Amino acid sequence: MAALCFSLLLLTSSANSFYYPRVPPRDFQRGDPLDVKVNKLSSENTRLRYNYYDLRYCQPPQIKNNAETLLETLWELIRGDHIQNSMYTFNMMEEQPCTILCALDLDAKYANDFKEKIADEYRVNLILDNLPVVVRRNYAGSKEVKYFIYNHLSFRVMFHKHLANDSAQIVGFEVTPYSINHKYKEFPHLTTCYKHTNETFLRNAIPQEVDARKKIIFTYDVSFMESDIKWESRWDHLPKNGQSKTSITKTAMMNVAWP
């Protein structure tokens, strides 16, 4: 019997889409603000590309297009990218536990928009300091016919430290995505996401289904790790051919095979 299987809307990366060879390295001090940028929604199954905010994601008060340098703007035009700011913000070398990004109520239109993009295997692209995010998890297939969304992102930023002046450069940007049906007794005090949340809990969380009249609470956390990788070689440590190795096709969280 034929059965449809659906995937979570996942984050992925393409190194060539974001590599600006003449952009100089940036030095960060502890506590300096770091802003994550968002790019287009892309799929290998369709030629259509969408802006990140074409879907009902958490939006900053003012959406700005990327215009830091002329070079970046030209590369955006060449690659067909559309880089914009996001609400994901944190500070250099400062751990950040579970943080609520926003809470959104889905109506039928917004729910259908998400379902259509999930069915077409669209992927989200994120960038930090011109470095694309790399997804760190693989999933196996299932015959469960449901739509779910990653609504909790666990970021990890790798940095290379300069002993001379205590500054650091970003050399890696990873994310582990989770789908969590967040619970609370009184919002915004969540019972499913708090300071001492650990990976074991996240792995076993009830996933967040996409459907009309459902509230989705988006959350994230951030950790930092010192690395021996130097800035000039950070691109050498991305997955080969610029693509993450994470497979998201035909996936359902009800029957997940964890690595």
> Model confidence over 59-102: pLDDT tens digits?
999 998 865 544 455 555 556 678 889 999 999 999 998 899 99
pTM across the whole model:
0.80
- Comparison of pLDDT for 13 and 64, the residue scoring more: 64
Mean pLDDT of 219-239: 83
In the prediction, which pLDDT does 17 show?
A: 40
Strands (E), the chain: 10-12, 33-42, 84-91, 96-105, 123-128, 131-132, 134-135, 152-161, 168-178, 184-186, 189-190, 215-226
In the prediction, which pLDDT does 75 show?
A: 53
Torsions phi, psi for 203 (to 5 deg):
-65, -30
Residue 94 in tokens = 């400062």
Question: For 44-81, b where at least 16 C-beta lie within 10 A, e where not — what string?
Answer: eeeeeebebbebbbbeeeeeeebeeeeebeebbeebeb
In the prediction, which pLDDT does 200 show?
A: 65
- Residue 127: partners with Cβ closer than 8 Å, 6 or more residues away: 18, 36, 37, 38, 39, 83, 133, 173
User: Is the confidence at residue 55, as pLDDT, over 80?
Assistant: yes
Measured CA to CA, the distance from residue 126 to residue 132 in angstroms comes to 6
Number of H helices, E strands in the chain: 4, 12
- Quote the DSSP letter at residue 239: P
138: confidence class by pLDDT, cuts 50, 70, 90: very low
Mean pLDDT of 205-224: 91
Measured CA to CA, the distance from residue 208 to residue 150 in angstroms comes to 7
The rounded percent of the chain whose pLDDT value lies above 90 is 33
The mean-pLDDT minimum among 82-86, 89-93, 180-184, 241-245 falls in 241-245
Measured CA to CA, the distance from residue 180 to residue 202 in angstroms comes to 7
In the prediction, which pLDDT does 9 show?
A: 63
Paired with 35 in beta bridges are 89
Residue 38 in tokens = 């968002």
Residue 13 in tokens = 């990366």
- Residue 78: partners with Cβ closer than 8 Å, 6 or more residues away: none
In the prediction, which pLDDT does 11 show?
A: 62
The mean-pLDDT minimum among 83-97, 117-131, 194-208, 230-244 falls in 230-244
In the prediction, which pLDDT does 241 show?
A: 41
